[in-house]
Structure 1
Amino acid sequence: MANIADIADIQVDPDVSTSSSDYDSIRSDLTSLTESVYSYIYENGRTYHAYRSGSYFLPNDEREQDRLDVLHHVFRLVHGGGLCQTELEHPQRILDIGTGTGIWAIEVGDQFPGAEVIGVDLSPIQPGWVPPNVRFVIEDMNQSDWSFAEGSFDLIHIRCLAGCLDDWTAFLRRCYDHLRPGGRIEVADCYPHLECDDDTWSNDSYLRTWQTEYHRITGVQGRLWDLSTCLKELVSEAGFENVELSEFRVPMGSWAKDPKLKEIGRYFRAQFIDGAVESYSLALFTRFGNWTSAEVQVLLARVTLTAGDTITFRND
């Protein structure tokens, strides 16, 4: 490291003005940038991110944040209390893409205090008080020019980004390029397939109506919302080796005999019926399905009132 006395002085450009108007301009730019991130869009009674508006179709308000934290608890229960399926040994740098409330990044930062953990999202909804090794960045990972150095992460963690990316092939390739040799990626998502084991789910139920319409509209919207048949292939095509696929069946409701599944089902049903159905419907149905907000709310009210405890949900 050079001695500060040996470093040449920074030269002043005589043609650059340092008037108060320059500082006012800087302050104006900062205010504008801040407003573009924090001035959320209000739609159908919910708030959505303003930065890169339209890139993500789920709300970012307090109700949605509560749901995401409950879903995080479901994932931990599925993983037997762990934060992910990937076994980590002394990681130095971890990237959490689509960090949401930041709960996973914070908890993995607590677990590995020697690692730098970076959470990335479109919405600045993460808490201000976090472990010293955790920080959050507002960035659109759909873009090709990531602000992180290539070959710099030991783990890239991705959860519930189905429907959020323009090009999964290009995205996964960028993930590959940003991992160190031997680095790992974990992609976790909930597959949108409701199934009934004992075949007692009525064909005319409102929940089935919702599911049918959801699949129709996501097909029209054009992004990849169902990773169930192609995720392993996509990851392999991006250059990753030794790709493993773990699948878990998650009950929706407390009907399961097994105590662990009973607890998982109780939490999953709460976040799905009382949260996810609306979160995944409002923007999609009104923007791409030609539904009015009132029509969506009527359907969701009927789903909430009539959804029973007899359905399992595949969570892979």
Structure 2
Amino acid sequence: MHTRMEHNLFLLTFDNKLGLSPPNLPDSKAKRVLDLGTGTGIWAIDFADDHSEAEVIGVDLSPIQPSFVPPNVRFLIDDIHEQWDFSEPFDYIHSRMMNFSIPNWPEYLDKIYQNLAPGGYVEIQEIDVMMKSDDGTLGDDSAIMKWSNLLNEASVKLQQAYKKIDEFKDIMSEAGFTEIVDVRFKWPTNHWPKDKKYKELGVWNNENIAIALESLTIAPFTRAHDTWVLANLFRLWKKAFIMRG
């Protein structure tokens, strides 16, 4: 459910498109497509449905993909941290919500670059867990910012450093990529926006956060913060939820 909800959030954000780069256009000529960290395979399956001429490969460490899929999509159970042994390069490589899963982004992006065909595209879709407010009133003493900062500290201590969104363009350039386009969107955390689309995004994102918060938080907080106890964690959650709800 969580993966589908995130998928729907991205679809709503991108006006029902699977991505913003040219391979996502209806007349795309992409023949080989790679979806990294495919999870349930929902993005790969949708792309394969939309582009019947493309061979789509989804890679993940967990075998949680369905068996009934379009004929032009297949899944590999593999560790993307190890050496990549693809026989041919790809026209399009897609990576989404991988920030906490990649300990070494320069190495990851170098692998992507080495496995792209000349003129190929990569699309990195990530979110910033560091919350922001339009009016600048969200201070570091707020519960939700304490949570964000503690999560970032934990990721650094556990050598799973969360890469800041502002850093992506530079590390992609260092990996050799050119014509880099940085497009950013807002995801409200609840239903407060007046705009219909942002209100819907806020409702979906509120539910998404509620589902993901525990799994995203407990392990890094209790492993990285020596004095942290679950009782304190639950109190912080409660304050954060009251603020955003």
Q: 2:56 aligns with which of 112, 117, 125?
A: 117
Q: Which residue of the partner structure matches residue 9 of structure 2?
A: 74
Q: Is the 8 A contact 2:109 2:175 kept in 1?
A: yes
SS in 1 for 2:107: helix
Q: Distance in 1 between matches of 2:66 and 2:198?
A: 31
> Does 2:146 match 1:196?
no
Q: Which residue of the partner structure matches residue 105 of structure 1?
A: 44
Q: 2:163 aligns with which of 214, 226, 245?
A: 226
Q: Which residue of the partner structure matches residue 181 of structure 1?
A: 118
| Deviation readout 1:168-197 (Å, 9 max, x if unpaired) | 112111111111111110011001121122
Q: Which residue of the partner structure matches residue 63 of structure 1?
A: none
Q: 1:216 aligns with which of 153, 158, 168?
A: 153
Percent of residue pairs bearing the same amino acid type? 36
> Does 2:176 match 1:239?
yes
Q: Is the 8 A contact 2:131 2:144 kept in 1?
A: no
The Cα shift of 1:230 comes to 1.1
Q: 2:189 aligns with which of 231, 252, 277?
A: 252
Q: 1:137 aligns with which of 76, 79, 83?
A: 76
Q: Is the 8 A contact 2:130 2:149 kept in 1?
A: no
Task: Select the structure that is richer in helix.
Answer: 2
SS in 2 for 1:192: coil
The Cα shift of 1:156 comes to 0.4
Most deviating of 198-207 and 236-245? 198-207
| Deviation readout 1:73-131 (Å, 9 max, x if unpaired) | 11111111100011221211100001111110010010001111111111111111111
Query: For residue 146 of structure 2, what is the amino acid of its counterpart?
Result: T
The Cα shift of 1:293 comes to 4.7
Most deviating of 165-174 and 294-303? 294-303
Q: Distance in 2 between matches of 1:87 and 1:279?
A: 34
The Cα shift of 1:300 comes to 3.1
The Cα shift of 1:223 comes to 2.8
Q: Distance in 1 between matches of 2:234 and 2:86?
A: 41
Query: For residue 179 of structure 1, what is the amino acid of its counterpart?
Result: L
Q: Which residue of the partner structure matches residue 148 of structure 1?
A: 86
Q: Distance in 2 between matches of 1:203 and 1:168?
A: 27
Q: Distance in 1 between matches of 2:179 and 2:136?
A: 37
The Cα shift of 1:285 comes to 1.1
Q: Distance in 2 between matches of 1:292 and 1:84?
A: 40
SS in 1 for 2:65: coil
Matches within 5 A, 1:24-103: 66-88=1-23, 89-103=28-42
Query: For residue 202 of structure 2, what is the amino acid of its counterpart?
Result: G
SS in 1 for 2:22: coil
Query: For residue 165 of structure 2, what is the amino acid of its counterpart?
Result: S
Q: 1:149 to 1:296 in 2, by over 3 A?
A: farther
Q: 1:170 to 1:203 in 2, by over 3 A?
A: closer
Q: Select the structure of larger CA radius of gyration.
A: 1
SS in 2 for 1:74: helix
Matches within 5 A, 1:5-20: none
> Does 2:206 match 1:269?
yes
Aligned residues: 240
Most deviating of 123-132 and 212-221? 212-221
Q: Distance in 2 between matches of 1:138 and 1:81?
A: 28
Query: For residue 60 of structure 2, what is the amino acid of its counterpart?
Result: D
SS in 2 for 1:247: coil
Q: Distance in 2 between matches of 1:226 and 1:244?
A: 17
Q: Is the 8 A contact 2:30 2:92 kept in 1?
A: yes
Q: Is the 8 A contact 1:94 1:156 kept in 2?
A: yes
Q: Distance in 1 between matches of 2:207 and 2:32?
A: 34
Q: Which residue of the partner structure matches residue 54 of structure 1?
A: none
Matches within 5 A, 1:274-313: 274-290=210-226, 291-293=228-230, 295-304=232-241, 306-309=242-245
Query: For residue 172 of structure 1, what is the amino acid of its counterpart?
Result: L
